[in-house]
């Protein structure tokens, strides 16, 4: 019996390890995360495996096992599809593995962070692709603020166009007399602008809900680079007054050194602070309610420009909200019904910066081959072009499918002229916030559906361009009767 004890203990240990492993693999959050890596489409196995590895890393962190990620890592899990689901009848050779137009959580950096909130910022768009030069002087960021919080006054050397994704806030603007202080309330769906150089501060006046604001910034000094300036503050954030010499400040404020030290030395808690209910109530404005006004415009208080059972599109431009006029920016929200898709479409002049507010799905962009080539591929292409020119051969244009899974918090950019499609997953609507830059003269060209621009080609043009009788081309182009929002590929297969 004594000899059996070690064997029995060993068997019990092995069983415990097996049970622990099985429990880990069946953890609901881990399994859901891994499932999301497989359900979407258009990525290769390597990327799907990387997604699953991030799921496991997240699980280890949740269990207290630590990891390499720092405190700035977002708690959202990026969903990427599996190799099997990325297969296409068109072949995988034309799909780009390098995607310069999609920004995941790892591409953001944290500009400001306290216990009460954080500001996440994307680097310059041109750091990813020269095809994004059209928005070189624009930046994207989003702000997350805990309930009952105060964001201290500052001014930026950039114009801000902001959209309230979630929550309620009071915005305070401080300008020279006679304007003085302006105050207005905003809520989900509101668009507002803060002009460069305007001292502004903000209160999350909700008792329970986080405030989430997405915004684009247009710097007015250095293209693509902006700075925040804090007058109020102390050591954290540092007041810019601290950079002036003591005698200058004493003369400017007609005060003593000890007073300066106290005024500009006490604040050490950061840019976003917890405020009491009494302080929130005192600062929250009731003078102007959220909605359409000179200061804000709610995108959902008007009829959608396009709507059917597959989705709705809400759009606001400078004709609706004059604060957008000199920036040449438009704002839209698209709600793609689960399982549905947008028609293939491109914009003539505007660059679309899209933020995934909610839901999951995927994106496909038809991109010129050169825009997604690695440096080595570009060198090879240049060598091939030189050889073709030497032989008098003109190469036709070539395109790649640039594809990505989409999940909340991701950003994607589509340059003007690039056709693209977005598809909602089978389990949730896909909600997209879009900022369009250079929007005033831009037109939207639908490439499928009831308003397909190709329908307007003459009979002879259709026959010459497609190489088949115009009757067959018309039958093909007019077979889709919906406009803009369409039944998605999986819905169509199951019908």
Q: Which residue has the tokens 């899974």?
A: 405
The whole-number pLDDT of residue 430 equals 97
What is the pLDDT, as a whole number, of residue 111? 87
Q: Parallel, antiparallel, or unpaired for β 95-96 and 399-406?
A: parallel
> Which residues, other chains included, contact 19 with Cβ-Cβ below 8 Å and sequence gap of 6+?
none
Neighbours of 4 (CB within 10 A): 9
CA gap 131, 99 in Å, rounded: 12
Q: What is the pLDDT of residue 79?
A: 32
**pLDDT over 60 at 413, yes or no:** yes
| pLDDT of 121 higher than 90 | yes
At residue 68, the pLDDT reads: 42
Q: What is the pLDDT of residue 265?
A: 83
Distance CA 51, CA 99 (A): 16
Q: What is the pLDDT of residues 124-170, one digit of tens each?
A: 998 888 888 889 999 999 999 999 999 999 999 999 999 999 999 99
Beta-bridge mates of residue 200? 154, 173
**pLDDT value, residue 302:** 86
Q: Is the pLDDT of residue 1 over 70?
A: no
- Report residue 7 as tokens: 């064997």
Cα separations in angstroms, 385 against 380, 388, 395 = 9, 5, 8
Residue 425, pLDDT > 90, answer yes
Reported as a pLDDT band with limits 50, 70 and 90, residue 384 is low
70-74, 134-138, 258-262, 444-448: least confidently modelled range: 70-74
% of the chain exceeding 70 in pLDDT: 72
Structure token pair of residue 235: 């050591």
Minimum mean pLDDT range among 75-89, 107-121, 387-401, 455-469 = 75-89
What distance in Å separates the CA atoms of residue 73 and residue 78, rounded to the nearest whole number? 12
Angle of the 28-39 helix axis to the 45-62 helix axis, nearest 10:
160
In the predicted model, what is the mean pLDDT of residues 452-475? Answer: 94
Confidence of residue 351 (pLDDT cuts 50, 70, 90): very high
Q: For residues 382 and 50, is the Cβ–Cβ distance under 8 A?
A: no
pLDDT of residue 422: 97
* For residue 52, pLDDT beyond 90: no
Residue 216: which pLDDT band, with cuts at 50, 70 and 90?
A: very high
Q: What is the pLDDT of residue 383?
A: 65
List the single range of 82-86, 118-122, 125-129 with lowest mean pLDDT. 82-86
Please indicate whether residue 143 or residue 378 has the higher confidence score (pLDDT). Answer: 143
CA dist 438 and 24 (Å) reads: 50
What is the Cα–Cα distance from 335 to 347, expressed in whole angstroms? 19
Q: Give residue 436's pLDDT.
A: 96
Alpha carbons 406 and 432: distance in angstroms, whole number? 10
Residue 471 CB burial class (10 angstroms; 0-12, 13-18, ≥19): exposed
Note the pLDDT of residue 375: 58
Token output for 38: 């497989």
pLDDT at position 86, please?
Answer: 36
For residues 244 and 275, what is the distance between their CA atoms, to the nearest angstrom? 30
Highest-scoring range by mean pLDDT, 274-283, 375-384, 392-401: 274-283
Contact criterion met (CB below 8 Å) for 106 and 121: no
Instruction: Name the pLDDT band for 45 (thresholds 50, 70, 90).
Output: very low
- CA distances to 84, 121, 371 from 41, in Å: 8, 27, 22
Across 228-232, 280-284, 295-299, 395-399, least confident range: 395-399
Q: Is 12 left (phi over 0), alpha (psi -120 to 50) or beta?
A: alpha
Chain mean pLDDT for the chain? 80
Phi/psi of residue 117, nearest 5 degrees: 160, 180
Contact yes or no for 79/70 (Cβ under 8 A): no
Residues 283-337 pLDDT 10s:
875 555 555 568 899 999 889 999 999 999 999 999 999 999 889 999 999 999 9
- Residue 46 neighbours by CB distance under 10 Å: 11
Q: What's the confidence (pLDDT) of residue 19?
A: 45
448 burial (CB, 10 Å; 0-12 / 13-18 / 19+) is buried
Helix (H) or strand (E) segment spanning residue 46: helix 45-62
């Amino acid at each position: 019996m004594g000899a059996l004890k070690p064997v029995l203990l060993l068997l019990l240990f092995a069983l415990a390890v097996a049970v622990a492993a099985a429990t880990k693999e069946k953890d609901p959050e881990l399994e859901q995360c891994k499932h999301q890596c497989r359900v979407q489409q258009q990525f290769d196995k390597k990327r799907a495996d990387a997604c699953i590895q991030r799921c496991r890393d997240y699980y280890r962190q949740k269990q207290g096992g630590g990891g390499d990620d720092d405190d700035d890592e977002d708690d959202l899990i990026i969903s990427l599809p599996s190799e099997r689901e990325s297969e296409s009848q068109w072949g995988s050779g034309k799909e780009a593995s390098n995607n310069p137009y999609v920004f995941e959580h790892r591409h953001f950096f944290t500009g400001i962070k306290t216990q009460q909130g954080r500001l996440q910022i994307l680097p310059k768009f041109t750091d990813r692709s020269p095809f994004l030069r059209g928005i070189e002087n624009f930046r994207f960021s989003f702000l997350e603020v805990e309930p009952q919080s105060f964001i201290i006054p500052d001014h930026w050397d950039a114009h801000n166009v902001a959209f309230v994704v979630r929550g309620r806030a009071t915005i305070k603007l401080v300008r020279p007399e006679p304007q003085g202080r302006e105050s207005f309330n905003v809520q989900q769906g509101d668009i507002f602008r803060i002009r460069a150089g305007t001292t502004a501060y903000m209160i999350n006046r909700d008792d329970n809900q986080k405030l989430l604001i997405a915004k684009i910034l247009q710097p007015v000094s250095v293209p693509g680079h902006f700075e925040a300036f804090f007058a109020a503050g102390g050591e954290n954030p540092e007041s810019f007054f601290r950079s002036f010499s003591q005698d200058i400040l004493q003369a400017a404020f007609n005060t003593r050194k000890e007073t300066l030290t106290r005024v500009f030395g006490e604040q050490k808690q950061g840019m976003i602070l917890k405020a009491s209910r009494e302080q929130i109530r005192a600062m929250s404005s009731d003078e102007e309610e959220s909605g359409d006004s000179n200061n804000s415009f709610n995108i959902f208080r008007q009829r959608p420009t396009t709507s059917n059972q597959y989705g709705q599109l809400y759009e606001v431009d400078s004709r609706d909200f004059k604060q957008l006029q000199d920036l040449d920016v438009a704002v839209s929200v698209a709600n793609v019904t689960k399982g549905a898709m947008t028609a293939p479409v491109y914009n003539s002049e505007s660059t679309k910066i899209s933020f995934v507010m909610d839901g999951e799905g995927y994106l496909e962009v038809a991109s010129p081959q050169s825009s997604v080539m690695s440096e080595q591929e570009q060198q090879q292409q240049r060598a091939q072009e030189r050889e073709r020119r030497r032989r008098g051969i003109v190469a036709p244009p070539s395109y790649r499918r640039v594809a990505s899974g989409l999940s909340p918090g991701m950003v994607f950019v589509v340059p003007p002229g690039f056709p693209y499609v977005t598809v909602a997953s089978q389990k949730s609507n896909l909600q997209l916030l879009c900022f369009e830059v250079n929007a005033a003269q831009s037109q939207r060209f639908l490439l499928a559906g009831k308003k397909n621009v190709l329908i307007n080609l003459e009979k002879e043009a259709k026959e010459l361009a497609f190489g088949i009788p115009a009757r067959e081309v018309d039958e093909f182009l007019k077979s889709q009767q919906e406009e803009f929002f369409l039944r998605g590929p999986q819905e169509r297969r199951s019908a």
